[in-house]
């Protein structure tokens, strides 16, 4: 009898051991596409960031040494950037986040062909080339939104390349995870990437894809850090010795930034609808020329910090003694975003939104003659508030700025700014900027 039970236990052990190995094998095969895509995303994000920064540096160098050059270079860059998009990948224009959210919504058997127009290898190449050319011309754009569409395309393509015998991987989860990994690699903000996926991209409970998204964000971030180092997007601004009344200043900045962001988005949408009625090429060409000349005029008459993504403006106001901007700088930043985004080239509004918010916080601090640390806080609050007004994702905005600056002890100030701006933005438009654009893309694909 003892020998019999020993035999039964051995057989049962082998059986359960086999099941465990099969389950481990299935889990590993399920995870591998996410890991491979994350590494590729990190590498491409690094190459893209270097190219984009080189384009911005070239823009600053040219405009500093040849003040008349913007009136030649900027129109050429605008027309070329738009031509690249229209010729090779029309759905690569603009930010990239609305395209990803549209792809997530279309992630079903019927929407397969339509997703290929939103997320593909041509989209990746076009996005990088068009946005870099526009940045060289001084375009007020960022690379973060484009990086999200690039990452979504990478994850989508790797999912398509899986052989028939491979365990099925959810197309929707791959795209969502790619977007989160892209944001994490672009900003070096892993928590921001995770929160962005939960808040902006889907209403699905995180338990359905938590392992994939956590591992993808970590791998993409580590890959990017291997080449760029463990950098902070902005650094460590001094926000010590804050006034007890600074909460009131935060509220003022958040109200103005939230309303301004929503109004800017409303204007962009109206211009895009107006542009869609153009039936003749000369009308579209004239509009692009006007947009480029507006940016060129800004480069010629205003400070160069009104151009490009605005990172230099954020760094200068946060980390130098020259903390205050003129009252018109926020208006120029918003005008630049409007004309750059509606031109039809590739380029995001994430970083420009942060810069616009920073300029609002800086201008208000100068009006109130606040101390350096209090000014820094209002600049950060303005960044959170303006980004929230654009995205309507208050937690993502607050977490992103927190991770960019390691400002954990001001999290309550940032959350107050985010929630206040979110409330203010709803007075202008109930839907977010990205929701409107997502619906436009879905409608265009029908």
Q: What would the pLDDT profile of 170-202 be if each residue is shown by its tens digit?
A: 788 888 888 888 888 877 777 777 777 776 665
- Domains within the chain, CATH numbers bracketed: 21-228 (1.10.3080.10), 246-445 (1.10.3080.10)
Question: Which pLDDT score, from 0 to 100, does residue 16 have?
Answer: 45
Instruction: Examine the pLDDT at 203 and tell me if it is beyond 80.
Output: no
Q: 113-141, pLDDT tens digit by residue?
A: 788 889 999 999 999 999 999 999 999 99
On the 0-12 / 13-18 / 19+ scale of CB atoms within 10 A, 108 is exposed
* Reported pTM: 0.87
Tokens 């892209």 -> residue: 182
Quickly list DSSP for 9-72: HHHHHHHHHHHHHHHHHHHHHHHHHHHHHHHHHHHHHHHHHHHHHHHHHHHHHHHHH-TTTHHH
Q: Looking at per-residue confidence, does 440 or 21 come out higher?
A: 440
Question: Which pLDDT score, from 0 to 100, does residue 82 have?
Answer: 96
Choice among 45-59, 211-225, 277-291 with the minimum mean pLDDT: 211-225
Q: Average the pLDDT over 335-363 and give the result.
A: 93
SS3 call for 350: helix
Percentage of the chain lying above the pLDDT 70 cut? 85
User: Which residue in 329, 333, 360 sits closest to 424, CA to CA?
Assistant: 360
Q: How far apart are CA 362 and CA 141, in angstroms?
A: 20
- CA Rg, the chain, in Å? 23
CA angle (161 as vertex; 32, 121 as ends), nearest 5: 110
Q: Average the pLDDT over 370-390 and give the result.
A: 94
Q: Looking at per-residue confidence, does 232 or 429 come out higher?
A: 429
E strands, 36-181, where?
none
Q: How far apart are CA 158 and CA 177, in angstroms?
A: 13
């Amino acid at each position: 009898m003892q020998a019999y039970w020993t035999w039964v236990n051995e057989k049962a052990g082998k059986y359960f051991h086999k099941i465990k190995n099969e389950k481990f094998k299935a889990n590993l095969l399920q995870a591998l596409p996410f890991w491979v895509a994350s590494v590729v995303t990190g590498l491409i994000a690094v190459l893209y960031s270097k190219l984009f920064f080189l384009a911005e540096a070239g823009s600053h160098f040219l405009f500093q040494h040849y003040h008349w050059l913007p009136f030649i270079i900027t129109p050429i860059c605008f027309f070329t950037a738009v031509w690249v998009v229209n010729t090779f990948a029309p759905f690569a224009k603009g930010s990239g986040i609305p395209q990803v959210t549209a792809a997530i919504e279309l992630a079903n058997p019927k929407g397969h062909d339509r997703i290929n127009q939103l997320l593909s290898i041509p989209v990746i190449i076009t996005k990088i080339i068009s946005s870099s050319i526009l940045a060289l011309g001084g375009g007020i754009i960022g690379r973060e939104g484009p990086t999200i569409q690039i990452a979504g395309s990478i994850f989508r393509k790797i999912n398509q390349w899986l052989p028939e015998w491979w365990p099925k991987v959810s197309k929707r989860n791959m795209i969502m995870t790619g977007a989160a990994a892209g944001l994490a690699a672009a900003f070096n903000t892993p928590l921001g990437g995770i929160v962005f996926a939960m808040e902006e991209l889907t209403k699905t409970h995180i338990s359905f894809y938590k392992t994939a998204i956590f591992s993808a964000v970590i791998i993409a971030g580590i890959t990017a850090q291997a080449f760029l180092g463990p950098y902070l997007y902005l650094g460590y601004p001094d926000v010590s010795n804050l006034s007890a009344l600074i909460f009131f200043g935060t509220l003022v900045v958040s109200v103005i930034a939230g309303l301004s962001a929503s109004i800017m988005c409303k204007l962009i949408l109206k211009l895009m609808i107006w542009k869609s009625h153009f039936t003749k090429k000369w009308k579209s060409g004239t509009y692009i020329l006007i947009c480029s000349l507006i940016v060129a005029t800004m480069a010629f008459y205003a400070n160069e910090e009104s151009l490009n993504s605005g990172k230099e403006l954020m760094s200068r106001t946060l980390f130098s003694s020259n903390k205050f901007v003129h009252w018109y700088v926020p208006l120029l930043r918003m005008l630049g975003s409007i004309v750059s985004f509606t031109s039809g080239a590739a380029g995001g509004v994430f970083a420009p939104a942060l810069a616009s918010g920073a300029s609002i916080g800086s201008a208000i601090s100068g009006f109130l003659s606040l101390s350096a640390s209090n000014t820094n806080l209002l600049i950060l609050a303005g960044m959170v508030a303006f980004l929230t007004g654009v995205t309507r994702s208050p937690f993502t905005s607050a977490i992103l700025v927190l991770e960019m600056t390691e400002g954990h002890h001001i999290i309550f100030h940032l959350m107050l700014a985010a929630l206040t701006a979110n409330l203010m933005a709803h007075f202008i438009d109930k839907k977010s900027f990205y929701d409107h654009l997502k619906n436009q893309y879905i409608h265009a694909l029908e």
